[in-house]
């Protein structure tokens, strides 16, 4: 039966893949002349990440992608544009599972800061509004040699532009949707060519009392047939980012960004608790985050110099119990030099120092007052005859009272052919990765003498990247094969007490397919995107005999994918998008959640009001009104709508 399910899943995605290829071929038939360039992703930040990381798979989500995403947070954006699994409830908590890894094994960067909470080692993606950012880069695979501890499965980079333009610009956005969803946002830009100020602010509220079919009720003979209304899922988030940038001359500048975020949400009730809810108080979480990053660049000399300074304050309070607050402060300084000795050969080297001051009620002051981290790293790149690129990276971390491993990596890209219309690139890389246990792992309710080891992984990857451009037609197909072996995997388990343990070894492997096709014919533009991941991920060795060894990891679907079709005609743009999430094991007993397909659709209309450009959008999520679960016995909304308007002044 399992084999039949796998065959069915593979057939579904094979049909999807064929539709992309055949659809692209039909687009090519409309053109017969030659264009003198191939499709190249031209973004400075993308090039900066790739410079010292040959063979690294990086997906860029541009400002247009973020605008079209509406008021969705980072969680929804990733689910709709990638085949990364995001485990989420109905709006208050979303965690990322990159290539089968845990949320603590993915880094999320704002400038030079990894903003994951130091206590639990992860971020709630629902608390990151894409409205505040200009682009997002998704970096797949192990990158600890470049990003530091935690980047085992991947990394997310939240990007801000600094375009050094002159002028004054204001943008306003208003949005409303189902179950009293409200969004208000504003952006203000001022620049004179040397100095620029960019301000972005937003407010988001969602009562979120949606209806659903309850699968856990007293009517055990007919589960999923009783209509219920969700209690305890309201949220209220607001925040702003302020950028001040100054250019001393064409080769010397200073950039600073301040991000304040305040997030409040009720903790969603399970279906069983929701069914018997009698109006009692619902647990709430109140989060406050202050993040500052400033970076100085001096490119005037042959050896380029960069220095950075950052500060992060994180605070979380549950149920307004201030005495049980969880707080951390950290200061970060970094310094880096780089030099391109020749156009085809260069290096960089640097250090990053971090000091952490925790204030957590469950930590003993006699055990930890502060903790220090120092990272030393070096990288180089080498282009050989414009066809072959090789990069190497080295990193060594030092942590107070803890031993971190040495982490090297190497990557290679070879251009098999490149013509006026197409190119083929093959890639291979090997990387060692690691994650230092979180503060909670080591200090929560313990005597501080933890015998935990850092998670220690090896990542092997091979990829193929094909580009085709002919007149107004573009095609890009990427295939990536990966294998990760992670030892000393850390989980919280009950062994007399609930505590973090190195429980064994996990192997995650798989295939990723990403395809993009675009054609423009007169006023018509058509885009087709497909993403698919096949990801068997198993515990191959456990410190205790358990029924999880040899089985798919919990909440890790073997099959994930999405496909979207976007069409533009003059001022109107329409889209339809489908997400597929495969079956997931939910616990050690082998219980599973069913696979599901969601369909979303909408349109954007561009017009002018008194010569000012306005975008009006309308979208429907879960168009087919599918009843599904993303976490066992936690309801998700049925069909919802959203209307938005964006005005440029």
Q: What is the pLDDT of residues 559-577, one digit of tens each?
A: 999 999 999 999 999 999 9
pLDDT at 386 (0 to 100): 84
pLDDT at 44 (0 to 100): 53
CATH of region 2-648, choose from 1.10.10.10, 3.40.50.80, 1.10.3720.10, 2.40.170.20: 2.40.170.20
What tokens does 284 get?
């709430």
The three-state secondary structure class of 361 is coil
Average pLDDT over residues 574-599: 90
pLDDT at 424 (0 to 100): 96
Average pLDDT over residues 371-376: 96
What is the spatial distance between Cα 52 and Cα 392, in angstroms, rounded to a whole number? 7
CA-CA distances (angstroms) from residue 178 to 308, 602, 637, 640, 643?
Answer: 43, 15, 10, 6, 9
Average pLDDT over residues 619-635: 91
Mean pLDDT of the chain: 87
At 544, the pLDDT band (50, 70, 90 cuts) reads low
Phi, psi torsion values for 144, nearest 5 degrees = -65, -30
pLDDT at 38 (0 to 100): 36
In tens, the pLDDT along 273-331 reads 898 888 888 999 999 999 999 999 999 999 999 999 999 999 999 998 888 889 999 99
Phi, psi torsion values for 79, nearest 5 degrees = -65, -30
Q: Is pLDDT at 3 greater than 50 in this prediction?
A: no
In tens, the pLDDT along 29-53 reads 333 333 333 333 344 555 677 899 9
Domain extents for the chain?
2-648
Q: Is pLDDT at 517 greater than 50 in this prediction?
A: yes
Q: Around Cβ 267, how many Cβ atoms within 10 Å?
A: 15
pLDDT at 80 (0 to 100): 86
Contact by Cβ (8 Å): 611, 648: no
* DSSP notation for 538-592: EEEEESS--TTBTSBPTT--SEEEEEEEEEEETTEEEEEEEEEE--EE-STT--E
DSSP state of 79: H
Average pLDDT over residues 601-619: 90
If one compares 59 and 11, the residue with the highest pLDDT of the two is 59
**Pairing label, strands 154-159, 106-110:** parallel
What tokens does 187 get?
């952006």
> Taking the alpha carbons of 612, 177, 318, 75 in that order, is the dihedral positive or negative?
negative
pLDDT at 2 (0 to 100): 40
pLDDT at 29 (0 to 100): 37
Nearest Cα to Cα of residue 418 among 390, 391, 386, 381: 386
Q: Is pLDDT at 393 greater than 60 in this prediction?
A: yes
pLDDT at 46 (0 to 100): 58
pLDDT at 451 (0 to 100): 81
Average pLDDT over residues 518-533: 94
pLDDT at 104 (0 to 100): 93
Q: Is pLDDT at 23 greater than 70 in this prediction?
A: no
Q: Is pLDDT at 164 greater than 90 in this prediction?
A: no
In tens, the pLDDT along 475-511 reads 999 999 999 999 999 988 766 678 888 888 999 999 9
pLDDT at 541 (0 to 100): 80
pLDDT at 36 (0 to 100): 34
């Amino acid at each position: 039966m399992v084999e039949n399910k796998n065959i069915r899943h593979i057939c579904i995605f094979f049909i999807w893949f064929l539709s992309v290829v055949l659809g692209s071929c039909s687009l090519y038939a409309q053109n017969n002349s030659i264009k003198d360039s191939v499709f190249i992703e031209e973004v400075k930040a993308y090039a900066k990440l790739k410079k010292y990381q040959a063979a690294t798979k990086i997906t860029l989500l541009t400002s247009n992608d973020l605008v079209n995403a509406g008021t969705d947070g980072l969680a929804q954006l990733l689910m709709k544009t990638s085949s990364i699994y995001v485990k989420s409830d109905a709006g208050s908590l979303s965690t990322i599972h990159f290539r089968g890894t845990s949320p603590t094994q993915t880094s999320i960067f704002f400038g030079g800061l990894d903003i994951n909470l130091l206590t639990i080692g992860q971020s709630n993606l629902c608390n990151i509004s894409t409205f505040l950012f200009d682009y997002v880069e998704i970096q797949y695979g192990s990158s600890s040699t470049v990003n530091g501890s935690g980047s085992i499965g991947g990394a997310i980079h939240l990007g801000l532009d600094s375009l050094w333009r002159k002028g004054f610009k204001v943008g306003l956005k208003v949005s409303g949707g189902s179950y009293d969803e409200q969004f208000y946002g504003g952006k203000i830009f001022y620049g004179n060519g040397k100095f620029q100020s960019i301000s972005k602010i937003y407010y988001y509220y969602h009562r979120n009392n949606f209806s659903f079919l309850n699968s856990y009720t007293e009517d055990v003979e007919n589960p999923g047939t009783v209509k219920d209304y969700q209690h305890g899922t309201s949220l209220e988030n607001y925040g702003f980012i302020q950028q001040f940038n100054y250019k001393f001359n064409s080769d010397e500048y200073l950039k600073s960004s301040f991000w304040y975020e305040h997030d409040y949400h009720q903790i969603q009730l399970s279906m069983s608790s929701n069914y018997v809810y009698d109006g009692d108080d619902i647990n709430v979480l109140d989060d406050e985050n202050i993040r500052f990053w400033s970076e100085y660049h001096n490119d005037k000399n042959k050896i380029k110099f960069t220095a950075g300074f950052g500060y992060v304050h994180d605070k979380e309070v549950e149920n307004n119990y201030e005495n049980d607050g969880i707080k951390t402060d950290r200061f970060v300084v970094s310094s880096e030099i780089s030099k391109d000795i020749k156009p085809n050969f260069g290096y960089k080297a640097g250090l990053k120092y971090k000091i952490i001051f925790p204030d957590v009620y469950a930590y003993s002051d006699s055990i930890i007052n502060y903790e220090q981290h120092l990272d030393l790293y070096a990288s180089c790149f080498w282009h050989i005859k414009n066809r072959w690129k090789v990069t190497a990276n080295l990193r060594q971390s030092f942590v107070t009272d803890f031993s971190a491993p040495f982490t090297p990596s190497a990557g290679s890209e070879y251009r098999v052919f490149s013509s006026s219309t197409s190119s083929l690139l093959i890639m291979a890389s090997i990387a060692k990765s690691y994650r230092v246990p979180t503060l909670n792992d080591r200090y929560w309710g313990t005597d501080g003498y933890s015998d935990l080891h850092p998670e220690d992984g090896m990542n092997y990857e091979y990829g193929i990247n094909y580009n085709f451009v002919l007149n107004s037609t573009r095609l890009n197909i990427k295939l990536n094969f990966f294998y990760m072996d992670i030892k000393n995997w850390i989980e919280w388990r009950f062994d007399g007490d609930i505590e973090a343990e190195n429980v064994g070894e996990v192997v995650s492997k798989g295939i990723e397919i990403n395809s993009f096709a675009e054609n423009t014919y007169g006023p018509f533009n058509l885009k087709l995107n497909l993403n698919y991941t096949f990801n068997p991920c198993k515990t191959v060795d456990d410190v205790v005999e358990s029924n999880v060894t040899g089985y798919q990891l919990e909440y890790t679907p073997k099959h994930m994918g999405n496909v979207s079709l976007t069409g533009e005609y003059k001022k109107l743009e329409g889209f339809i998008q489908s997400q597929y999430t495969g079956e997931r094991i939910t616990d050690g007993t082998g219980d599973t959640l069913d696979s599901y397909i969601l369909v979303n659709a909408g349109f954007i209309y561009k017009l002018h009001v008194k010569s000012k450009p306005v975008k009006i959008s309308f979208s429907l999520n879960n168009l087919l009104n599918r009843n599904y679960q993303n976490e066992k016995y936690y309801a998700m909304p049925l069909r919802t709508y959203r209307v938005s308007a964006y005005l440029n002044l």
